[in-house]
Amino acid sequence: MPNAYVYNAREYGNMLMCLGEARGNASHALRIYRERFPTARHPADSRLITAAFQRVLENRPIALVAAGGGSQVAVHSEERILDVVRRNPNLGTRSIAKLLRRRDGTSISYCTVHKVLKRNRLRPYKVYKVQALVTGDHDRRRIFCRWLLDQQQRVPGFIEHVIWTDESTFTRNGLWNRRNTHVYSEVNPHAVRQTGHQTRWSVNVWAGLFKNRILGPVFLPQRLNGQRYLKFINEQLVDILDDLSLAEYRRTWLQHDGAPPHVVRLVRERLNELFDDRWIGRLGPHAWPPRSPDLTPLDFFLWGYVKERVFNRECDSADEMRQRIVDVFDKLRTDCVEDHTMMPRLHEEMQHRAQICLEMNGAQFEPHLIRPRRI
């Protein structure tokens, strides 16, 4: 029998359609094929059709791909494609092909564009979403990271003796990334997800990380002001500090960001009474760099962990959401007990991020992390 791969995929497809009409009789299928496609190449042996059908059953290629990925692309066409990519690196392959057809009247397909990009080792890279910085932020971020690393070197274990805190709002709509949401089914289930509810509610949550402990959740009023934040400090935060020994308390620091309730004069005076100069925040003894969620473990670890599990299904009420938040925090505490390396890895990640921030001269650095670190 001649080489089974001498025909292209379209010719094999026509042969298999004829095989279906002949109810599996290869000899009859070959006669049908010759009658229906008189100008095409005709196999001399009906076993070639049988072999093609067998390759389909075994999930093997029905026809070989031409060497080099198909026909060659003309040099001038490749240069035009690369020129468009250099000028517009954000365009997709279909958009590039459409632009060339409209501008030059060429017949370049998106498959040709993809082939040229692959041959020139041009790969599509993910675009990161980062916090916008303003004038002066780079300097403030460098100053803080340098101070943090100096403290860690001078006082081993400094980072783990800081109470890292933050507040976050959980809304009814939750989190939803359409790119990562799929429903596998044999038929289209026409799945939907409701959003944009007319009846809206949200939950404001405070949490903290301290040594090997997960603090919180503490549910704060939705509209947080200086008086309410001061009440939280005098009630919940003081209870946390009361559980510490005197020696441990003298080593403990507090960190919070520059939210307006945090910089009220009464709040700053109360923190000075509790921690002397051992707290980090706007207008505090040691300034926290604004617009720096990539430097706090609450943002790059805790809130993502909690929200991913809280929003895995829709909440019907604010009370249900509060209970689910409590359950997720309890589960995280259990995980910390079972995995003794979780919090040490988190502290190492903070040092790593501070070092990378200095290397990036205070700019956004998350796209330049060598690898995503598993906490």
Q: For 212-233, how does the pLDDT look when each residue is reduced to its tens digit (9 = 90+)?
A: 999 999 999 989 999 999 999 9
Which CATH number do you get for residue 289? 3.30.420.10
Residue finishing a domain among 32, 49, 64: 64
- Structure confidence by residue, pLDDT tens digits, 77-93: 888 899 999 999 989 89
- Among 68-72, 108-112, 250-254, the minimum mean pLDDT is found in 68-72
| Element holding 150 (H helix, E strand) | helix 137-154
3-state secondary structure of 165: strand
Pairwise CA distance, residues 336 & 342, whole Å: 6
**3 is a domain residue:** no
Q: How large is the average pLDDT for residues 129-158? A: 95
Domain shared by 47 and 79, yes or no: no
- DSSP codes of every residue in 34-53: HHH-TTS---S-THHHHHHH
Check whether residue 259 and residue 161 sit in a common domain: yes
Residues 349 and 112: beta-carbon distance below 8 Å: no
How much is the pLDDT for 259? 94
* Residue 329 and residue 270 share a domain: yes
- Residues 49, 198 within the same domain: no
- Do residues 347 and 159 touch, judged by C-beta distance below 8 A? yes
Beta bridge partners of 286: 280
The count of structural domains within the chain is: 3
Q: Residues 359, 219: one domain?
A: yes
Residue 373: inside a domain, yes or no?
A: no
- For residue 375, tell me if it sits in a domain: no
Q: Which long-range contacts (CB under 8 A, 24 or more apart) does 275-282 make?
A: 278/252, 278/253, 278/254, 279/253, 279/254, 279/255, 280/162, 280/253, 280/254, 280/255, 280/256, 281/254, 281/255, 281/256, 281/257, 282/257, 282/258
> Within this chain, do residues 195 and 340 fall inside the same structural domain, yes or no?
yes
* Residue 97 and residue 42 share a domain: no
In-domain check, residue 30 = yes
**Number of other CB atoms surrounding residue 10 within 10 Å:** 10
Lowest mean pLDDT among 99-103, 356-360, 371-375: 371-375
Tokens, residue 34? 């010759």
Q: Name the DSSP letter for residue 127.
A: P
Residue 36 CA: distances (Å) to CA of 29, 124, 228, 314? 10, 45, 84, 58
Q: Of 24, 45, 64, which one is at a domain's C-terminal end?
A: 64
Q: Are residues 43 and 169 in the same domain?
A: no
Q: What is the pLDDT, as a whole number, of residue 74?
A: 77
pLDDT of residue 154: 95
Residue 128: inside a domain: no
Tell whether the model's pLDDT for residue 172 goes beyond 90: no
Q: Are residues 26 and 168 in the same domain?
A: no
CA 201 to chain centre: 26
Residues 24 and 82 in one domain: no
Q: Is residue 172 part of a domain?
A: yes
Residue 127 lies in a domain: no
Residue 374 domain-assigned? no
- C-alpha atoms less than 13 angstroms from C-alpha of 299 in its C-beta half-sphere: 14
If pLDDT is split at 50, 70 and 90, which confidence band does 196 have?
low
Instruction: Give whole-number Cα distances, 313 to 17, 87, 174, 193, 332, in Å.
Output: 47, 43, 9, 10, 18
Whole-prediction pTM: 0.73
C-alpha span between 25 and 28 (Å, rounded): 5
Same domain, 207 and 353: yes
> For residue range 52-78, what is the model confidence (pLDDT) as tens digits?
898 888 887 777 554 444 567 777 888
Supply the range of the domain harboring residue 30: 9-64
pLDDT of residue 107: 79
Which of 44, 64, 84 is a domain's end point?
A: 64
Buried b (16+ CB within 10 A) or exposed e, 253-271: bbbbbbeebbbbeebbebb
Q: Is 334 left (phi over 0), alpha (psi -120 to 50) or beta?
A: alpha
Residue 205 near residue 219, CB atoms below 8 Å: yes
By the 10 Å C-beta count (0-12 exposed, 13-18 middle, 19+ buried), 129 is classed as exposed
How do residues 292-319 score in pLDDT, each as one tens digit?
999 999 999 999 999 999 998 888 899 9
Same domain, 250 and 193: yes
- Judged against a pLDDT cut of 50, whether residue 138 lies above it is answered with yes
Is residue 372 very low, low, confident or very high in pLDDT (cuts 50, 70, 90)?
Answer: very low
Q: By C-alpha distance, which of 55, 129, 127, 122 is closest to 82? A: 122
Number of neighbouring beta carbons within 10 Å of residue 186: 5
